[in-house]
Amino acid sequence: MTVFKGFEEIVREKVSLGPLTTFKIGGPAEYFLQPRTEEELAAVLVRCGEEKLDVHVLGGGSNVLVPDEGVTGAVIQLEPKGFGGFAVVEGELVRAGASLGLPKLVRSAAEAHLSGVEPLVGIPGWVGGAVRMNAGGAWGDIGQVVERVQVMDARGQVFWRDRDDLAFGYRRSNVAARFVLAAELRLAEDDETRIAKFMKEIWFAKKNAQPMSNRSAGCVFKNPRGMSAGALIDQCGLKGTKIGGAIISRKHANYIVATAETKAEDVKKLIELILDKVNEKFETVLELELEIW
């Protein structure tokens, strides 16, 4: 492999991306790389630039739909061992690596008697993806506790962005650098039992309302201002609608769930159908929350 000569230990060709996503759908990456250190990542990015390769960044794969034909260029996922650490920096300040899974972040914080990340219960992504798109929900979001974020730009330069310079909104942030490497979160000391109780409350509320055990990428659309995307889809009578192997969940209309036979194309067609029906009935254009590669 001449393109990534010298990186043989961390690159593989034609890696199926489906298993790396929560939808479990999608074709291969031309090149799949898992850098273990900042230096390796920087060198990989420089090489991608020299070779003029498209770069896709993959975290936990819980908010992306990979096309059936796969993606050309490089898909880069920060290796979990190298970038998945959790540490209490001092007192109530913790540092979480970009590849730390949110369930582990929530558990580790609770074990340290620190409260603030419970709203992330039930969200299967990783810290990097969560910061990039300000993951959260009715109980709060990660942006509320972010103190600073360590990022790397497309040329491999690493820097920190502080709270004053960060903006988090509904499922979006102004963290535009190529990679989030880590985030420091300002939590609050609390009683472990109280934290556990809150976590349980959120978990049960989500389990009742959302198809948590099905293959999906979470909510497909953002809620339009003052409205619920799920309610609009439901009022179009679309719950249970199926195209190929993709189904609009009967439990929560803003979820498309997949079976072993589902193709990305089925999901895309179902998305088109929802967009058309909601626009026709409510003159509202829904905006995608999940990302189609």
Ligand X SMILES: Cc1cc2nc3c(=O)[nH]c(=O)nc-3n(C[C@H](O)[C@H](O)[C@H](O)COP(=O)(O)OP(=O)(O)OC[C@H]3O[C@@H](n4cnc5c(N)ncnc54)[C@H](O)[C@@H]3O)c2cc1C
Q: Indicate which residues carry an active-site annotation.
A: 171, 219, 289
CB atoms within 10 A of CB 4: 19
Per-residue tokens: 29: 């990456």
The residue within the footprint of ligand X, chosen from 41, 42, 58, 278 (CB under 6 A), is 58
Helix axes 102-111, 192-209, angle to 10 degrees: 150
Which residue among 82, 124, 143, 230 contacts ligand X (CB under 6 A)?
124
Task: Specify the residue, 224 or 277, whose C-beta has the smaller distance to ligand X.
Answer: 224
Any idea which residue has 């939590």 for tokens? 187
Among 18, 26, 35, 61, binds ligand X (CB under 6 A): 61
The total number of residues shown for the chain amounts to: 293
Strands 64-65 and 291-292: parallel
In angstroms, give the least distance from the CB of 28 to ligand X: 16
Two tokens, residue 67? 């096309």
One of 123, 145, 183, 256 touching ligand X (CB under 6 A) = 123
Least Cβ distance, residue 208 to ligand X (angstroms) = 14
Cα-Cα-Cα-Cα dihedral sign, residues 138, 89, 85, 41 = positive
Q: Supply the DSSP string of 48-99, one letter for each residue.
A: HHHTT--EEE-SSSSSEE--TT-EEEEEE---HHHH--EEEEETTEEEEETT
Decide if residue 133 touches ligand X (CB under 6 A): yes
64 binding ligand X? (CB under 6 A)? yes
- What is the C-alpha separation between 145 and 81, in angstroms, rounded? 24
Minimum CB separation from ligand X for residue 293, in Å?
Answer: 8
Among 26, 35, 80, 129, interactor with ligand X by CB under 6 A: 129
Query: Cβ distance 129 to 116 under 8 Å?
Result: no
Range in contact with ligand X (rule: CB under 6 A) among 61-69, 222-230, 233-241, 259-267:
61-69
Task: Specify the residue, 198 or 282, whose C-beta has the smaller distance to ligand X.
Answer: 198
Give the nearest distance from C-beta 77 to ligand X in angstroms. 8
Size of the site for ligand X (CB under 6 A): 31
Catalog residues that contact ligand X under the rule CB under 6 A: 22, 57-64, 78, 98, 123-126, 128-130, 132-133, 135-137, 171, 179-180, 212, 216-218, 291
